[in-house]
Amino acid sequence: MAQSDRLSGVLLHVTSLPSYGGVGDFGPAAYAFVDFLEAGKQRLWQVLPLSPTGYGSSPYSALSAFAGNPILVSLEKLAEAGWISWDRIQGLPGHEGPADFGAAMDIKLPLIEEAAGNFLDRATDDEKAKFHKFCQDNSYWLTDWAQFAVLRRRFGYASWHEWPKEFALREHDTMTSVLTDHGRELAVEQVVQFFFAEQWKALRDYCCDRDIRIMGDVAIFVSYDSADVWTHPEIFELDENGAPIRVSGVPPDYFSANGQRWGNPLYKWGELKQRGFDWWVSRIRRSLALYDTIRLDHFRGFEAYWSIAADEETAINGQWVKAPGHELFQRLKEVFGDLPFVAEDLGVITPEVDELREHFGMPGMRILQFGFGDRGGHLYLPHRYVPNTVAYTGTHDNNTTQGWWRDDLNDTDKQKVQTYLQTIHHDGEINWAMIKAAARSVANLCIFPLQDILHIGSEGRMNTPSAPAGNWTWRYHPNALHPDFSTQLAALMEMTDRDNYQEPIEGDEAGKPTEEASRRAELGSVA
């Protein structure tokens, strides 16, 4: 995404689609949503991490930073491809209601694995060759993930550090026996990842044909119970038994007297630097295979992070530790060139964090909902934006705009909102007032949660940070994407120059191929 591009997009996680099977996936509902984006002249779809999830089904508590979430694979697409019969996928949870992750794991996932077994038994030589190439191209993570998934199932889905010691510490003879004793299961796990990759690629191609880019999400830290820590203990702060020595969090502030103890193991940055940051290079390579643009969650942590002893119950007794952000991003730039990153720079940000972001040309984020409290929040209002900014009405961690207006604001703050935007005669007006403010701003990119476009209240909130339950389950109703919403969006995009308008060519040159198109034709390329 060039810094000069001016465009707009929608934030919607894949699991929030009203797909068949009780949880959103890469099936027909995803393509219908892309059609809605195209009709509304939206040119970006932001998703949350697509990784396999553990307890709580949070996409930010992933079992792997590299693998795809198997439950996002569409059974309908597998049936269309002939890998499972239509009668086998009847009777699953339907298109409506909250995402049912339990049913997806208990009912849907075994059917996906059944389809993977059918692939192993019936695939043609060409299909097998394509699968083997996928395995070869992704060998730097795929085998380890397959072993982790198989062993996790074998040991009752317990965290890897609770497995028998020889498995937890990956003793050589033990891991050799896994390869020999579980060959079929490992192959099934690899085929499931192949299905994920093929279906996601088809959906991305559908987006690309409609000039819609995908923004993904990369969290700075990984979960302790993950294939990443199990496979690469040498790059994390662990003791000789694999237990974490220090973990991550955020310090106490006016939101929380104890801070937040995230519990993710910390990197051995010195070890990573000595290895040329090879693990991070691999992680970004994988992310660039999935997304066009990458949002870096908790960007501040790349400059300095809050370190807590693993046996501390709160985040009070922690300390700031310097991270090698400049060295890391310089290495990534050497490998990948211009970095398609967006920095999640919310909260208390130091000048050093701003300098790191600006040095590498990464746009920061501004959340319009944050701008109406004290004067310090005014940097989140459009008159303080600069072009290299991503403007949001809200994110997955905020209430919806409708819920924020109805349930979170007092009368004083509501008056501030109306002073800045417009008089709100009825609650339904707040959504488009906020959307218009973000779209009219100088920010090159503005993003709206789908809930705001659909005028959905607090019942549509995706996540309440630190809440123990009830998160990540929202799905929109199958009939919610009314054409009136896309028509309204399209008109706004035209008036705010976010629709990729191209000046018509007149005169003798009209109808002739462009220089770029002519060059591709001469080279015989269709790219």
Are 473 and 98 in contact by the 8 Å Cβ rule? The answer is yes
- Among the listed residues 297, 303, 345, 499, the single catalytic one is 297
How far apart (Å, rounded) are the C-alpha atoms in residues 159 and 163? 7
Which of 431, 437, 445, 436 is CA-nearest to residue 500? 445
In the chain, the N- to C-terminal Cα span, in Å, equals 18
Q: b/e map of 488-502 (b: 16 or more CB within 10 Å)?
A: ebbebbeebebbeee
42-65 core/surface letters (b: 16 or more CB in 10 A; e: else)? bbbbbbbbbbbbbeebebbbbbbb
Report the SS3 class of residue 114.
helix
E strand spans, 48-185: none
CA torsion through residues 86, 89, 92, 98, sign: negative
What is the rounded distance in angstroms from the CA atom of residue 364 to the CA atom of residue 372? 19
Q: What is the number of other CB atoms lying within 10 angstroms of the CB of residue 6?
A: 20
Our answer to whether residue 297 is catalytic in this structure is: yes
What is the Cα–Cα distance from 163 to 155, expressed in whole angstroms?
Answer: 7
Please check whether residue 278 is in contact with residue 221, taking contact to mean a CB–CB distance below 8 angstroms: no
Which residue out of 25, 189, 303, 344 is catalytically annotated?
344
> 402 Cβ partners below 8 Å, 6+ apart?
427, 428, 430, 431, 451, 452, 455, 456, 457, 458, 460
* DSSP reduced 3-state for 109: helix
- For residue 397, indicate whether it is catalytic: yes
Distance CA 503, CA 511 (A): 13
Grouping H, G, I as helix, E, B as strand and the rest as coil, residue 301 is helix
Cβ neighbours around 445 below 10 Å, total: 27
Q: Where are the alpha helices (DSSP H) in 234-324?
A: 269-274, 278-290
**Helix residue ranges, H only, 209-248:** 227-231
Cβ-based neighbour number of residue 355 at 10 Å:
13
Q: Which of 35, 211, 312, 397 is catalytic?
A: 397
What are the phi and psi torsion angles at 446 (to 5°)? -125, 145
Q: Look up 217 and say whether it is catalytic.
A: no
Residues acting as catalytic residues: 297, 344, 397
